[in-house]
Structure formats: C-alpha cells, structure tokens
Homo-oligomer: A and B are copies of this chain.
Amino acid sequence: MASDDIKSLSPVELRRLIREGKYTDNTSGLAPGYTQANLVILPKDLAYDFLLFTQRNPKPCPVLEVSDVGSKKLTEMATDVDIARDFPKYRIYKKGVLTDEVTDVDDVWRDDLVSFIIGCSFSFESEMIAAGIEVRNITEGVNVPMYDTNIPLKSAGQFHGNMVVSMRPIPEDQVIEAVKVTNSMPKVHGAPIQIGNPEHIGITALAHPDYGDAVTIKDGEVPVFWPCGVTPQNVIMQTKPDFVITHSPGHMLVTDVKNTALKYL
C-alpha cells in the first residue's frame, strides 16, 4: 500500500492492517487528529505498585486506560482492539534486558498480564501546530530531545527515580500560548515544568540529549521542558522486573479518540 493510502486510513482500518502484519513501521503522521498511545505490559504482581506510581506522578505518567488482567481488549480508547497485535512493533524485556523486538506478542502472552495505555506528546504537538506554534523536532524530522533531570518522582513500592523531560524550543513571544495549549491537555503530560533554565533541573548540555535527537535552538527561542512518557519506562527498567513488554519507540497504538477529546478529560 502506498504511503498516501496509509495516511487516509481510519484508526480501525489501520489497527486491522497492523493486526494482520501488513504494516510494521512507525505510526508518526498516521490517522491525523487521533490520539496515539504508549504501552507498558506488566505481570499482575507489579500492577498495583505501577498503577499507584502513575497516580502519584500523573504528569509524566498519564494513564489513559488499564486493561483487565489477562485481557487483550480495551473499551475506552478504542474498541476492535487486540493489544497483543495492534502495535506495529513491541519490545520484550527480561530482568531489564531487551531480549526481543517483535510485531506481535501472542507467543509470549500470559493470563497474568496487565496493559497500561499511556498518553503521548504526539497529541499536544498536533494541538501546538494547530495553534500556530512550530514544533522543531517535527520540522527537522527527528525524534524530540529528551533529558534526565534532578526532579525526584514520588515513589510507589519498588518504583522510584527522577523525571525525564522532553524539550521544544519556542519563540519567546509564543511561550505563554504553548503553556496554555498544553496545560489544557493534562492526559498527555499537560503544562511544561520548566521554562528557559535547564540548569535548574539538572540539565547541563542541551546539545547532548540523553534520549532522542538534538534540535536547533534559534536566536530568540526559549527551551521549554515537558514531563515525558519515557519516564515510566525508565523507572520500570531500573527495577529490572522479570518480564515487561512495551511498544517500540514511535510504534504506537492508534486509538479511536480524537486529540481534542483529551482536553480537560
């Protein structure tokens, strides 16, 4: 199927194509206007502490939906879903080590698995663009730059650590608008947590992000930092659990929920 044809597909059509193994690439730019979501799958014995961790740290860990134990279905973000097949690519971790990258996880599925569907900054980036604010990582066609910080998270059981943030350079006269647009979307990280002073949150070298790619910061632009969805995966991996499945970066679930519907959910 040609690239233009893919972009015209609805979320449910895309999920079916992905489910059949006919699309295994990243989902950037697909089903414009619809929310895409991150995935963390954990065994039930870790699920309470992780759910509590997200409750205590909603800005970096905005949970959109949690599956029933053992279920591959969702009800809120999309119906006609197979969690084990509808992400184009998955990563399997054992004791904190990446052991496999696969296009479905049927083979390793267990009845004790719980799936956490987590909000993604793709949603607020599209709203920023709609508000006339350039998103540099999109313009430059690279991954957003992400940084470890010294901002402690609230711990829950074995889960603890510092916040990871993403950075977007914003023209000084659009910073307030960028705050307003993202503040209205708390289910996809919400407002920034730092504006203009990376050293205040322990970031020393903007040109050398800890994850993703560096982007150009032009004269008159201010680096603005948002809580980032890499945070929960980072925190989980630090505990080296026996078994975790995540989506592969950029290979998201395309949901039936419009980005605009996430405003002040």
User: Which A residues are within 8 Å of any B CB, using their own CB?
Assistant: 44, 47-48, 51-52, 55-56, 63, 66, 68, 75-76, 154, 156, 183, 186, 264
Contacts and interface: CB of A to CB of B under 8 A. Distances in A.
A48 B68 CA distance: 11
Contacts of A154: 75-76
Given A154-B75, A264-B186, A55 B66 contact: yes
Counted per complex, copies of this chain come to 2
Nearest to A190: B264
Contact of A55 (B44, B55, B186): B55
A136 to B, nearest CB: 27
19 contacts: A44-B48, A47-B48, A48-B48, A48-B51, A51-B51, A51-B52, A51-B55, A52-B66, A55-B55, A55-B63, A55-B66, A56-B66, A56-B76, A68-B156, A75-B154, A76-B154, A183-B264, A186-B264, A264-B264
Contacts of A183: 264
Contacts of A75: 154
